[in-house]
Structure 1
């Protein structure tokens, strides 16, 4: 029995250490549940008393008692006076088929994945003040089921902001508030599929997560190659698609902007097909050399649906986004939104509306633009010094940079070699969608979430690994 309990202690020690560091995520409870489901703790196994296990793990006895109590309530454990606590006999599952706990997320020494802002720069004090003011300002009836289109106050503020900053042609009635840009794309996909427009052109290369999301919403993504000037409209015209998803301001991951000629050609294609362009304006607020081109939606509000969010400006965790819909789609989108989740919470909407109205959002963007430009400059300077043959591609914008590797290199092999050294640097080939892609090896490096010193250290590690 002592040997079994020693094994149990070793099994649970990582969870206990998480708990001891103040990470209250029911770590011990989850570890026990996973060990039972995975078969490491077979049916009938007697567990130590709460006092004994707490002593072995160095945690409070109440932590163990709470974990035991929850698992008894769930039926994983049984507890009887005189016989102690045991793994239940009638779990109704076999260890070979029940999954264990999810593996922990890898902790990289240098995480250069693209798309993540500097979370430490989140304006906590301003957000807290805006949240308090919003809660005091909202009437009681606003705490009921929300308008599925979104809080009127936020839609009004957003209409002014998008018109001023991105030249979007919009009123409050045109906007649908969403749980991030992801829900906006999912809503558009579902509505298009319901209308029989199942084929949706997407850029190649592009974000792989979009393919899963769009497929789940009922549409068929059709990859169309993108080059140094964005999506190839001539190749798009050769497809049967009547809708296209594009990143015009800053193509992901190539980092280029769609030039005026292709913008006009794309809109001409949409008019000819009676089609729709979905403009994912995911990081247009971050342009460092000059103002970004205005949104395509301003060129034809009838043929362009505009999608945006705060995930690249404030934090993804807020799950706040917006969709500016053409009039012929809006009613269907609001109905789909209502049937999906009854609408987004009014509380964060009201807080964000206050941040927009007070100028706090503009101030935050001014700060982060300076921060990200310094970090981008530090990364490029370090690369120019240590790896001068690697060529930066694209405009000075966004939260990532594409590096073209010398011809003959295999970017997937480079990625794997760096991963073995604790450096996460995604290969460009990971974003290929099978339609041709850019035709050269590259790495897609995010820089916004790391300090300038950390970026320089990451480049030094990359150089030492590859030379």
Structure 2
């Protein structure tokens, strides 16, 4: 075994509480043997030097060397001159291993499911530089308890970014940092419930997690249909709150039309309600100019939500929301134990944005996603010419409307068996529509896999 210092077990807790029979070195050998057999001391682990273990156990060094020698003779340990005594035996040599299906998660060959950005494109070097800057320059006071609502530096950076790039109306105190959009929506829904709201309108189709967030707060999720102009504002009667994705509706890909935006704002003012605006996919537009937030039109009646889960990675777990001032105290009161992401990560994101790394990353991945979308559309036109494509102008997914009447549920299952990850549009509906449509994501699809993935889909159809 290499002399690695990463698998030392000098502070292992040994169970010496067994029957007080036999010499002490035999009792120590039994405890060490049990630790090895139970996997507490895995194969390759370096045991403490005999002098150290003897001092820890308040016994003679001879007692420890005798126990080690016994286990070496039994094949549990390996001792070499000038090197540490290491564990040689592994439980896997005695126990049958679990089937691979029970121990691991199968990664699809081709991932055409929506919801993920290109994980290969995560800016590792620039993110590491931002972390290094924070860890080397931040004063020691930054490593205390995290500030409630998020670190002031990140809140200021996000407020400036949202004003500059999304046309939002906000100041740093209006911004609250959280782990993501779903958590932010859940917090606001708790405040709505405490204020006497009983229901929240939700676009249909939409993310299932949005409906789950509404239900988790004790509210009823009321489905509201979406057409080519976005959410049907005229169908919001009976509710005073609604969750919308106006920049790029998920999953249909529509953009809330100007007349609908005006109608939505007028509705919120008329009923003294609240619009929960998920700024989904707003950073990725290819065939039309970006649209600003609805929140910028009516900051007194719109709460704005966003995150870096689609622009950087969901693994960072950093999101935010901007509240109307009249709702800030109510949301804080409804979430007294609300936590924030780690301060170091918050400061790293702030440094990443301040140094221009975030803008450079977005420009780079926009170009990559546009080229990948074009390749996907071309492959679909070649292999599935009878299908219809919508929702291609923005975001990281599109809709593939299949000709005929294929069983999309069976298709998804067959594709999974072939290593192709697909999602049926009905997955995001409250009721099946009977319209055979797939939601094809291309964010986490490798460029070289576009044509093979579409060819496999065509063969399954």
Shorter-chain TM-score bucket reads 0.7 to 0.9
Trace 1:63-142 onto structure 2 (pairs within 5 A): 104-142=104-142
Q: Match of 1:290?
A: 288
Q: Match of 2:257?
A: 259
1:103-142 deviation line (CA, Å, top 9, x unaligned): 6433212121101011111111111111121223322222
Q: Match of 2:151?
A: 151
CA contact (8 A) 2:387 2:403 kept: yes
Q: Is 1:442 aligned with 2:437? A: yes
Trace 1:109-258 onto structure 2 (pairs within 5 A): 109-237=109-237, 240-258=238-256
Q: Is 1:456 aligned with 2:451? A: yes
1:61-108 deviation line (CA, Å, top 9, x unaligned): 5399xxxxxxxxxxxxxxxx99999xxxxxxxxxxxxxxx97643321
Q: CA deviation at 1:188?
A: 0.9
Trace 1:4-23 onto structure 2 (pairs within 5 A): none
Q: What is the TM-score when the length of structure 2 is the normalising length?
A: 0.77
Query: Structure 1: how far apart are the matches of 2:330 and 2:222?
Result: 24
Aligned residues: 381
Query: Structure 2: how far apart are the matches of 1:283 and 1:261?
Result: 21
Q: Match of 1:356?
A: 353
CA contact (8 A) 1:405 1:411 kept: no
Q: What is the TM-score when the length of structure 1 is the normalising length?
A: 0.76
Trace 1:269-288 onto structure 2 (pairs within 5 A): 269-288=267-286
Report the CA distance shift for 1:130/1:336 in structure 2 as closer, same or farther (over 3 A).
farther
Q: CA deviation at 1:221?
A: 0.9
CA contact (8 A) 1:176 1:334 kept: no
Report the CA distance shift for 1:53/1:347 in structure 2 as closer, same or farther (over 3 A).
closer
Query: Structure 2: how far apart are the matches of 1:102 and 1:332?
Result: 45
CA contact (8 A) 1:114 1:399 kept: yes
Q: Which moved more, 1:209-218 or 1:251-260?
A: 209-218
SS in 1 for 2:338: helix
CA contact (8 A) 2:194 2:334 kept: no
CA contact (8 A) 1:411 1:429 kept: no
Trace 1:386-405 onto structure 2 (pairs within 5 A): 386-405=383-402
Q: Match of 2:403?
A: 406
Query: Structure 1: how far apart are the matches of 2:219 and 2:38?
Result: 52
CA contact (8 A) 2:116 2:310 kept: yes
Query: Structure 1: how far apart are the matches of 2:37 and 2:178?
Result: 49
SS in 2 for 1:62: coil
Q: Match of 2:89?
A: none
1:414-453 deviation line (CA, Å, top 9, x unaligned): 222322322111001111113x86x622101110111222
Q: CA deviation at 1:51?
A: 8.0
Query: Structure 2: how far apart are the matches of 1:451 and 1:326?
Result: 41
CA contact (8 A) 2:282 2:290 kept: yes
Q: Match of 1:60?
A: 43
SS in 1 for 2:295: helix
Report the CA distance shift for 1:292/1:325 in structure 2 as closer, same or farther (over 3 A).
same
**Could you list the runs of 5+ residues in structure 2 that have no partner in the other structure?**
1-6, 8-32, 48-69, 77-100
Query: Structure 2: how far apart are the matches of 1:354 and 1:129?
Result: 9
**RMSD of the TM alignment (CA)?**
2.7
**Could you list the runs of 5+ residues in structure 1 that have no partner in the other structure?**
1-23, 25-47, 65-80, 86-100
Q: Match of 1:420?
A: 417
Q: Which has the higher helix share?
A: 1
